[in-house]
């Protein structure tokens, strides 16, 4: 009568429990029928596809009960006579019929009836079968052994007292746990459907004045159900769709001024499997809270389902910085049952309003498509679909293709800018800076192409090319008798790409003649900001290979001092912003002094970049910073020209005067 599940054994939420056994085989077999019905109900709640008619289940239960109760009562009566105990038991059976009939007459929706039935049956199983039936069976057996009825009853009483209630409670608790999640899920689903229906009705009908007064409160409640996600408290799909519509409808709004981002967590299935569903759910809740703190007040963050989120930013110009903020906050480890977990995501971004797309649903789908395209290219990054004229997405695709082409045609070049000791004139090394000798556009500086691949796999590819090329160049110079240390810029993305130390090791092994200690990796503070422990670990693994680290653009990040102190870098590289400002106002000078002073506190070396004038060099020397790089000495030059520069280079007399005292 009931559609059996496709795989009936696969969903035994209530396995037959030996404690159910009465010792009377026929009765046990019949009880198993009931357990089976319960399992089918559970299956129904858990699977979307199962069709179950409440009427049919109730029918089946009635005919089952009519047969089973009669069978059972015959046995009890035979053993115990028409005793009060048997009569009570009979009454309990009658209550079963009453309950089933009441459910049937209730006129409630199917799913409600099934839920209530489910509830009732679990309790029936625990209390009636476990308690009452077993008591009857035990008493009957004692009587068979020759005990008087009263004595049999007392003995059974003392045997069962305590132990049974413990069993019943334990079983109910287990059942409760097993079923709670499926039932809860279903209840929420129903409540939402109902709320949506009701809301529709409310909006359509315009109820009478009296009703209207109540409606405000009621509507709020309904809205919260209809538009919010119960797990995270964020908006749900409906919620953000409504917000997008509002945003689209704003009259003053310029094309492409808002952004919609579709976000999908990477490898959440694995997390789910290893953490368990409860912890994974908690993780989603914690992530949601962090993200809410990281978005502006006028933005809207929604959980669309599972591990998918959507973010509406009324100000599209914030998309990059906010996504970066989400990325960083997600990377900070979450404490879950003693485990530390961090999360990465992939995202697709569409800008709107756009003449071509006037529908919020379609826009969300576009964002989603863009997300899947991003996923296809790589995890942990994001892609734009520019719905507007400029079509950034298209432009970016072109750029990506062009860079791939450029890599294969060997169009990239490294220029090198010397690092010197201002006072002694010693050449300490050189920083490799990438250029693109583009066939049509000429020599391109990195700002023209690096930002476009900041979160893309190509970033790593380009980065590895730079590492190889620098090491190769060191070899070439070595052969000419010019032994130089080289600094290479490593992007946050490359550093965090997971197997960076492994890959670096591999690259270094291709150049056995080069001592890794001659290679210095310049990283940005923000590269380490995401997840300090992990960054520290990555850096340390690389340092074990022998390479050194500098913190680039020092002073422009937002790290706390204690944070910086833990970063295992050798050198701090003062950003040129502070150097260029130093010969202006007193205030700038004191900032520079502070920064230089910090290096002493941390016990790190310090180097200044962007030294353009003799005066700036003097100031640095007066503050105790001797190492520097900048146009005053040399711009970045082609590698072939560097040996010649070294031969001719002499430091300025104004700088030589500083004797370090």
Binding residues for ligand C2E, rule: CB under 6 A, are 417, 432-434, 445-446, 450, 463, 466, 489-491, 522, 552-553, 576, 609-612, 630-631, 636
Kindly state the smallest distance separating residue 362's Cβ from ligand C2E, in Å. 37
Select the binding partner of residue 630 from ligand C2E, Ca ion, none (C-beta < 5 to 8 A, by kind).
ligand C2E
Select the binding partner of residue 103 from ligand C2E, Ca ion, none (C-beta < 5 to 8 A, by kind).
none
Kindly state the smallest distance separating residue 557's Cβ from Ca ion, in Å. 11
| SS3 label, residue 432 | strand
Cα–chain center distance at 327: 9
Helices (H), ranges, 432-456: none
The 8-class DSSP code of residue 228 comes to B
Kindly state the smallest distance separating residue 623's Cβ from ligand C2E, in Å. 18
Query: Is the CB of 264 or the CB of 553 nearer to Ca ion?
Result: 553
- Measured over the CA atoms of residue 492, residue 577, residue 591 and residue 595, the dihedral's sign is positive
Burial of 527 (0-12, 13-18, 19+ CB in 10 A): buried
Kindly state the smallest distance separating residue 491's Cβ from ligand C2E, in Å. 4
Nearest-angstrom CA–CA distance, 623 and 579: 12
Q: Note whether 314 and 256 are within 8 A (CB).
A: no
Kindly state the smallest distance separating residue 573's Cβ from ligand C2E, in Å. 8
Query: Is the CB of 272 or the CB of 489 nearer to ligand C2E?
Result: 489
Q: Note whether 362 and 346 are within 8 A (CB).
A: no
Query: Is the CB of 489 or the CB of 494 nearer to Ca ion?
Result: 489
The 8-class DSSP code of residue 604 comes to -
Query: Is the CB of 138 or the CB of 579 nearer to Ca ion?
Result: 579
Select the binding partner of residue 610 from ligand C2E, Ca ion, none (C-beta < 5 to 8 A, by kind).
ligand C2E
What's phi and psi for 429, nearest 5 deg?
Answer: 160, -165
Kindly state the smallest distance separating residue 454's Cβ from ligand C2E, in Å. 9
Determine how β-strand 412-421 pairs with β-strand 627-628.
antiparallel
Select the binding partner of residue 450 from Ca ion, ligand C2E, none (C-beta < 5 to 8 A, by kind).
ligand C2E
Residues that bind Ca ion (CB under 5 A): 489, 522, 552-553
Strands of 587-650 (E only): list them.
Answer: 605-608, 627-628
Q: Which two tokens stand for residue 288?
A: 């949601």
Nearest-angstrom CA–CA distance, 126 and 123: 5
Q: Note whether 310 and 240 are within 8 A (CB).
A: yes
Query: Is the CB of 152 or the CB of 619 nearer to ligand C2E?
Result: 619
Query: Is the CB of 272 or the CB of 489 nearer to Ca ion?
Result: 489
Nearest-angstrom CA–CA distance, 327 and 454: 13
Q: Note whether 258 and 351 are within 8 A (CB).
A: yes
Cα–chain center distance at 484: 44
Query: Is the CB of 171 or the CB of 619 nearer to ligand C2E?
Result: 619
| Beta bridge partners of residue 455, listed in sequence order | none
Query: Is the CB of 489 or the CB of 618 nearer to ligand C2E?
Result: 489
Buried b (16+ CB within 10 A) or exposed e, 612-621: eeeebbbbbb
Kindly state the smallest distance separating residue 183's Cβ from Ca ion, in Å. 58
For 94, the enclosing helix (H) or strand (E) is helix 84-105
Tokens 């190769």, residue located: 472
- Measured over the CA atoms of residue 159, residue 162, residue 163 and residue 167, the dihedral's sign is positive
Kindly state the smallest distance separating residue 540's Cβ from ligand C2E, in Å. 21
Kindly state the smallest distance separating residue 394's Cβ from ligand C2E, in Å. 25
Query: Is the CB of 179 or the CB of 550 nearer to Ca ion?
Result: 550
Nearest-angstrom CA–CA distance, 507 and 167: 64
23: phi > 0 → left, psi -120 to 50 → alpha, else beta; which?
left
Kindly state the smallest distance separating residue 633's Cβ from ligand C2E, in Å. 8
Kindly state the smallest distance separating residue 403's Cβ from ligand C2E, in Å. 13
List, in order, residues 6 or more apart from 375 with CB less than 8 Å away: 264, 346
How many other CB atoms are there within 10 angstroms of residue 200's CB atom? Answer: 12
| SS3 label, residue 507 | helix
The 8-class DSSP code of residue 357 comes to B
Helices (H), ranges, 261-391: 268-275, 277-294, 319-331, 360-377
Kindly state the smallest distance separating residue 556's Cβ from Ca ion, in Å. 8
Query: Is the CB of 44 or the CB of 419 nearer to ligand C2E?
Result: 419
Q: What is the largest CA-CA distance in the chain?
A: 121
Kindly state the smallest distance separating residue 435's Cβ from ligand C2E, in Å. 7
Quick one: three-class SS letters along 455-478?
CCHHHHHHHHHHHHHHHHHHHHHH
Query: Is the CB of 54 or the CB of 527 nearer to ligand C2E?
Result: 527
Nearest-angstrom CA–CA distance, 275 and 292: 23
Kindly state the smallest distance separating residue 386's Cβ from ligand C2E, in Å. 24
Query: Is the CB of 111 or the CB of 552 nearer to ligand C2E?
Result: 552
Nearest-angstrom CA–CA distance, 261 and 350: 6
Closest CA to 222 of 206, 208, 210, 238: 238
Query: Is the CB of 47 or the CB of 613 nearer to ligand C2E?
Result: 613
Query: Is the CB of 156 or the CB of 523 nearer to Ca ion?
Result: 523
Kindly state the smallest distance separating residue 532's Cβ from Ca ion, in Å. 21
Query: Is the CB of 122 or the CB of 491 nearer to Ca ion?
Result: 491
């Amino acid at each position: 009568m009931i559609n059996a599940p496709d795989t009936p054994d696969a969903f035994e939420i209530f396995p037959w429990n030996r404690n159910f056994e009465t010792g009377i085989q026929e009765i046990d077999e019949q009880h198993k029928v009931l357990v089976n019905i319960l399992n089918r109900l559970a299956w129904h709640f858990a699977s979307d596809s199962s069709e179950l008619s409440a009427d049919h289940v109730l029918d089946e239960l009635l005919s089952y009960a009519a047969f089973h109760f009669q069978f059972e009562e015959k046995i009890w009566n035979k053993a115990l006579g028409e005793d009060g105990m048997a009569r009570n038991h009979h009454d309990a059976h009658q209550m079963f019929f009453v309950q089933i009939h009441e459910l049937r007459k209730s006129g409630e929706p199917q799913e409600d009836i099934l839920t209530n039935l489910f509830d009732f049956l679990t309790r029936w199983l625990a209390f009636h079968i476990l308690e009452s039936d077993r008591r009857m069976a035990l008493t009957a057996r004692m009587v068979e052994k020759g005990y008087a009825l009263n004595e049999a009853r007392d003995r059974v009483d003392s045997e069962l007292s305590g132990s049974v209630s413990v069993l019943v409670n334990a079983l109910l608790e287990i059942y409760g746990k097993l079923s709670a999640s499926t039932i809860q899920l279903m209840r929420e689903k129903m409540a939402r459907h109902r709320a949506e229906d009701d809301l529709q009705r409310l909006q359509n009908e315009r109820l009478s004045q009296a009703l209207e007064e109540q409606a405000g409160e009621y509507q709020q409640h309904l809205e919260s159900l209809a538009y919010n996600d119960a797990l995270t408290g964020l908006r749900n799909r409906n919620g953000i769709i409504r917000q997008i519509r509002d945003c689209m409808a704003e009259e003053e709004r310029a094309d492409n001024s808002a952004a919609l981002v579709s976000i999908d967590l990477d490898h959440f299935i694995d997390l789910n499997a290893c953490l368990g569903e409860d912890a994974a759910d908690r993780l989603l809740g914690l992530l949601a809270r962090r993200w809410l703190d990281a978005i502006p007040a006028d933005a809207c963050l929604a959980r669309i389902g599972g591990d998918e989120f959507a973010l509406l930013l009324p100000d599209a110009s914030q998309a990059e910085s906010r996504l970066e903020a989400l990325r960083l906050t997600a990377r900070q480890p979450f404490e879950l049952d003693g485990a530390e977990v961090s999360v990465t995501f992939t995202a697709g971004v569409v800008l709107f309003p756009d003449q071509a797309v006037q529908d919020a649903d379609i826009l969300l789908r576009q964002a989603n498509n863009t997300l899947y395209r991003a996923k296809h290219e790589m995890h942990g990054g994001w892609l734009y679909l520019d719905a507007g004229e400029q079509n950034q997405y298209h432009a970016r695709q072109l750029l990506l293709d062009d860079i791939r082409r450029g890599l294969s045609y060997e169009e990239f070049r490294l220029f090198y800018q010397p690092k010197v000791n201002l006072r002694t004139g010693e050449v300490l090394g050189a920083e490799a800076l990438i250029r693109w000798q583009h066939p049509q556009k000429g020599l391109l500086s990195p700002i023209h192409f690096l930002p476009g691949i900041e979160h893309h796999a190509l970033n790593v590819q380009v980065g590895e090319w730079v590492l190889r090329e620098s090491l190769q160049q060191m070899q070439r110079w070595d052969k000419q008798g010019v032994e130089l240390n080289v600094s290479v810029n490593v992007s946050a993305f490359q550093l965090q790409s997971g197997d960076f130390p492994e890959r670096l090791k591999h690259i270094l092994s291709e150049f056995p003649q080069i001592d890794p200690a001659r290679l210095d990796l310049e990283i940005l503070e923000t590269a380490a900001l995401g997840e300090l422990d992990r960054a520290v670990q990555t850096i340390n693994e690389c340092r074990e290979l022998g390479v050194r680290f500098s913190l680039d653009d020092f002073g422009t990040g937002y790290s706390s001092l204690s944070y910086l102190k833990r970063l295992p870098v050798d050198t701090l590289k003062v950003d040129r912003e502070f150097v260029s400002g130093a010969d202006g106002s007193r205030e700038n000078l004191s900032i520079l002094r502070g920064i230089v002073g910090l290096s002493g506190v941390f016990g790190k070396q310090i180097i200044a970049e962007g030294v353009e004038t003799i005066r700036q060099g003097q100031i640095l020397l007066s503050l105790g910073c001797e190492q520097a790089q900048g146009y005053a000495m040399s711009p970045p030059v082609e590698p072939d020209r560097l040996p010649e520069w070294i031969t001719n280079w002499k430091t300025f007399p104004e700088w030589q005067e500083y004797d370090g005292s």
